Amino acid sequence: MNEPFMLEVDTYLKRLGYSSAPPPALATLSELQLRHTAEFPFETLSSMLYAPVHVDLPSVQDKLLCQGRGGYCFELNQLFLLLLQALGFEARGLTGRVVMDGPEDAQTARTHMLVLVTIEGVRYIVDVGFGGMVPTGPLLLDSEAQQSTPHEPFRLTLVDGAYTLRALVADSWRAMYLFDLQAVAEIDYTVGSWYVSTHPDSPFLGRLMVARTGHRLRKTLNNGSFAIHRLGEPSQRVQLQDADAVLKVLRDEFAIQVPEHPELRATIERLLASE
């Protein structure tokens, strides 16, 4: 029989800058989300290498808290959900359909995980795993007004039971993903992650995508294109020329402990050559 999973709460909180457990309040939720997106990067190193992405909880905890890695939504949001529940928040997982950079009415697969949190009867959407456009603050679910975050403004709209999350980017409201409030089981995360990490149509497969937030900025890496996006300023971009430069950015800018893999350098060089 498998032993029950135990979240290493103290280790997790220490990574987020807490010496003791904060209270389950809105201010805590806001600070946790902001700190999490700055501390744990979104990254697709495993799927870039066509390596398995395990989303069982022991594997996710080991990858994020012990291996010095980041992950994607089914890893980052799943562990964050457990932390919130351990701190006393009323929270559960949801799944969504990503439509960013595509038509809003596209029937995409449920390949995104986010979190619903209820505080004193008020419902919020929380997400720490949406790459370069991850919201950095909780968003009121039952409001269609523009909502500020430490980074871009967001807003939610509801049509026929489906919510759409939009972000204000370059003076344009762009749809990020659609979701609903249906109950989600662990198998839904497993299936969604399997699709994202193995299906030939997945944008993550064989591609390097990395993102991390900072104070009024976002850092992104798309194969060899490294960018720093500062609020209210033009983005700074540089095209990295070789695998050494990419590995240095992964370590220095995203604080990732790059895994040992026999095909790592060759894979990165192939990605750079294809651009």
Nearest CA to 64 among 32, 54, 23?
A: 54
Count other Cβ atoms within 10 Å, centred on residue 274: 9
- Our answer to whether residue 127 is catalytic in this structure is yes
Find all residues with CB under 8 Å of 46, minimum gap 6, and list them.
52, 53, 197
- Between CA 182 and CA 197 the distance in angstroms is 24
DSSP-assigned states of every residue in 40-84: S-EE-HHHHTT-----SHHHHHIIIIIS---B-HHHHHHHHHHHH
- Our answer to whether residue 112 is catalytic in this structure is yes
Nearest CA to 239 among 272, 214, 269?
A: 272
Q: Where are the beta strands (DSSP E) in 45-183?
A: 90-98, 110-119, 122-126, 139-140, 154-159, 162-169, 172-179
Cβ atoms of 68 and 256 within 8 Å: the answer is: yes
Q: Name the catalytic one among 36, 73, 151, 229.
A: 73
- Our answer to whether residue 66 is catalytic in this structure is no
Q: Name the catalytic one among 112, 142, 215, 229.
A: 112
Cβ atoms of 130 and 209 within 8 Å: the answer is: no
Determine the number of helices (DSSP H) and then strands (DSSP E) in the chain. Answer: 8, 12
Q: Name the catalytic one among 56, 62, 66, 127.
A: 127
Known catalytic residues are 73, 112, 127
